[in-house]
Amino acid sequence: MKKPKIAVIGSSSMDLVVTSKRRPLAGETVLGETFETVPGGKGANQAVAAARLGADVHMIGCVGDDAYGKEILDNLKSNGVKTGYVKPVTHQKSGTAHIILAEGDNSIVVVKGANDFVTPDYVKEAMSLLKECDLIMIQQEVPEETVLETARLCDEIGVPLLLNPAPAREIPDEVIEKAAYLTPNEHEAGILFKGQELSKALSNYPNKLLITEGAAGVRYHDGSREQLIPSFPVKVVDTTGAGDTFNAAFGTAIAEGQNMKESLRFANRAASLSVTGFGAQGGMPTRDEVERGLAE
């Protein structure tokens, strides 16, 4: 199978993860159980996941000139992600995500830090690389104008764009029209298509709008009818990074030339494996692990 070349434009952060029996209410203090720092950020997570699945991955991002920045860069490199376009930004802190794992789910506060320097002009510096890619992936932990400009650039150079619209915010119609694939979860889809029935939105964007529904799977419209590709049941340790793994696996498979159904099945299998390990990247599977999982 062809090794696809993928550029991921996005955030790279350090995740500060606390486990606790329950999350505190406003104004309350609770005693937690463990504390870990692990690499994260939606962009870096997607880059690492795609590299583990066999893609040739180039990250376009920014880190701070601090110890976290060095750790984030080392982690990308050790996972085989090319970092020629990951710039350390002076006098800025690396992005951080403050995560509470409690009651079987996570709550996250993201401080973008250096990720705010992934500007349209910075993306344009990578133009020659972007033109050679089979797929470009972006998320929403970078400035809004970067997402818009990237959609325009992709349209101009004819490279498909996979937009994972997370975290949720409203986006211009132009971005929706110019993206090749959109992968909101149900909550994000509700914000993107406010006031519309989601099944109507799906039929308006066949083979493009892919709405993830967690353990239930992923829903899309194939041009004739709505399809639900079911997920794979597993014992969940930590759901952080499952969406990122889904996006990376879908992007890798579709850029390899697999069809929509096969790509979504591959993505669901990869995402289901990712939740069996701790941390956003801890459970992200290799290609062999996904293939073995699909054969089970």
With CB under 6 A as the contact rule, which of the stretches 35-43, 86-94, 151-159, 202-210 interacts with ligand RIB? 35-43
* Residue 108 binds to ligand RIB (criterion: CB under 6 A): yes
Give me the residues paired with residue 97 across strands.
15, 110
Select from 193, 123, 119, 184 the least CA-distant residue to 154.
Answer: 123
For ligand RIB, the binding residue among 48, 81, 280, 290 (CB under 6 A) is 280
Residue 128's CB: how many other CB atoms inside 10 A? 7
Q: Are strands 95-102 and 82-89 parallel, antiparallel or unpaired?
A: unpaired
Active-site annotation, residues: 244
**Rule CB under 6 A: is residue 237 a binding residue for ligand RIB?**
no
Q: Is 244 in the site for ligand RIB (CB under 6 A)?
A: yes
Looking at the Cβ atoms of 66 and 155, the one nearer to ligand RIB is 66
User: Is 212 part of any known ligand binding site?
Assistant: yes
* CA–CA gap between residue 135 and residue 183 (Å, rounded): 14
Among positions 7, 51, 110, 151, the unique one binding ligand RIB when judged by CB under 6 A: 110
**Dihedral sign of CA atoms 101, 46, 248, 206 in order:** positive
Stretch that binds ligand RIB, among 63-71, 124-132, 177-185, 236-244 (CB under 6 A): 236-244
Is there a binding annotation on residue 65? no
Strands (E), the chain: 5-9, 13-19, 34-40, 56-64, 82-89, 95-102, 105-111, 135-138, 161-163, 181-182, 211-212, 217-221, 226-230
Other beta carbons within 10 Å of 295: 7
The Cα 14–Cα 38 span in angstroms is 6
Q: Is 238 in the site for ligand RIB (CB under 6 A)?
A: no
- Taking residue 234's Cβ as centre, other Cβ atoms within 10 Å add up to 16
Q: Any known ligand binding at 33? A: no
Minimal distance, residue 267 CB to ligand RIB, in Å: 15
Distance from the Cα of residue 119 to its chain's centroid: 18
Query: Considering only 34-42, 59-67, 112-120, 190-198, which stretch makes contact with ligand RIB by CB under 6 A?
Result: 34-42
**Binding of residue 274 to ligand RIB (CB under 6 A):** no
Give the DSSP letter of residue 225: S
Q: Which stretch binds ligand RIB (CB under 6 A): 37-45, 69-77, 80-88, 285-293?
A: 37-45
Residue from 4, 40, 283, 285 binding ligand RIB (CB under 6 A): 40
Q: Which is nearer to ligand RIB, 110 or 273 (CB)?
A: 110
* Sequence-distant (≥ 6) Cβ neighbours of residue 146 within 8 angstroms: 9, 118, 119, 120, 122, 123, 138
Interface of this chain with ligand RIB, residues 2 to 31, rule: CB under 6 A = 13, 15
Could you tell me the CA-to-CA distances from 227 to 85, 115, 203 in Å, in that order?
38, 36, 11
* Residue whose tokens read 């990247």: 281
Kindly state whether residue 241 participates in binding ligand RIB, applying the rule CB under 6 A. Answer: yes
Q: Closest approach of Cβ 278 to ligand RIB, in Å?
A: 12
User: Given the rule CB under 6 A, which residues bind ligand RIB?
Assistant: 13, 15, 40-42, 45, 97, 108, 110, 141, 240-241, 243-244, 280
Tell me the binding residues for ATP: 185, 212-217, 243-244, 268
Tell me the binding residues: 13-15, 41-45, 141, 185, 212-217, 238, 240, 243-244, 268, 274, 277, 279
